Amino acid sequence: MKKTKTIFLLLLFSALLSVMTNAQTRTMSFDANTSLMLQEFSAMLTFEEDQIKVAMRMGRDEAKAGEDRLEEGDVIVMMNGTRAKDIPSLREVYEALENDTEIKIGVQRGQERFILRAMKGDVPEGSGTRMVMEFDDEGDGAPPVIVGSLGLILTDTDAGIEVNRVIEPLMPDVLKELDIQGYRITELNGEKPENAAAALKTINELEVGDEISITFTTDGDEKEIKFKKPESRGNFSMTGNNE
C-alpha cells in the first residue's frame, strides 16, 4: 500500500514567512494539552521536560534597541501571578483574560528572570509566520479536507466524516469548549453531508455571521452545537509527498 505524507501549512496572522533552520523547513506538531500560541508575544509555547518553553518565535522581525521579547528556549514560570505548571493551567489563565487586559508573564532565561508585558489581543507587527504540520495517510483515498474557518481537519472514513484533527488557534471559542477530535459529523445545517468535501463546500458558502448547526457523534455520545460562522483566523495550504 502506498504511503502518502500530507503536509499542511498553517498560515498564521498576515505575513507568509517560512520557519527555516539551516535551509530546512521546521516541522512542528501540537495539541491543546502540550502547546499554546501566545500571539501577543509572537511565541509558540510547548511543554517539555516538566517546563513550559518557547518552542518557536513567530516571524522574523528584528528586536528594537532596548526591547525585551521572548526568545526560543525561554521558560515561562508564571502568568498574571499564577505559577505556570503546565499548558492547560496556563491556557486557563490566558483565556480568562479579556481583550485589552494586561498580560504579565514571568520568564526565565538561563540564570536571569524578568517580567514581560503585553495587552491581550494586541498582535505585534511582523509576527506572522507559517507553521508546518504533517501526518501520514495510508492508502489512495481522498486527502484530508481543511475547514480553516472552524479550525478542523476532516477525513472520509468507512464510518463517515471524521474530525481527524483540531487546530485550536483557528477554532471559534464555542468549538474550543468541545472535545470533538475523533468525532464524526453526522448532520450539518439540517442535512447529512455526503463527504468531507461536501461539508467544506456547505460551510464555505455561508457568510460570516450566518448560523451553523453541527451534530458531532461518536460511539455512545452526541454533541449538537449552533453558532454563527466566525471570521477566519488564518488560512491553510497543502502539499503532498509520496514515499
pLDDT tens track for 171-180: 888 898 888 9
Are 33 and 44 in contact by the 8 Å Cβ rule? The answer is: no
Question: With bands split at pLDDT 50, 70 and 90, how would you rate the model's confidence at 20?
Answer: very low
Distance of CA 168 to the CA centre of its chain: 4
CB 114 within 8 A of CB 128: no
Which pLDDT value is given to residue 195? 95
Q: Is 133 exposed, middle or buried (0-12, 13-18, 19+ CB in 10 A)?
A: middle
What are the tens digits of pLDDT across the range 24-36? 333 444 556 678 8
For residue 136, what are the contacts with CB-CB under 8 A and spacing of at least 6? Answer: 3, 4, 5, 6
Give the ranges where the chain is alpha helix by DSSP (H): 87-96, 173-176, 196-205
Provide, for the chain, the percentages of residues in helix, strand and coil under a 3-state DSSP scheme, each rounded to the nearest 5: 10, 45, 40
The identity of residue 236, as a single letter, is F
| Residue 40's pLDDT band (cuts 50, 70, 90) | confident
pLDDT 10s digits, 97-122: 998 999 999 999 999 999 999 999 87
Residue 50 has pLDDT above 60, yes or no: yes
Strands 24-25 and 211-218: unpaired
Spatial distance between the Cα atoms of 106 and 80, rounded to a whole number of angstroms: 8
pTM exceeding the 0.85 threshold for the entire prediction: no
Q: Which amino acid is at 109?
A: R
- Per the listing, cell 442535512 goes with 191
174 near 150, Cβ under 8 Å? no
Any alpha helices (H) in 24-181, and if so which ranges? 87-96, 173-176
CA–CA separation, 42 vs 125, rounded Å? 9
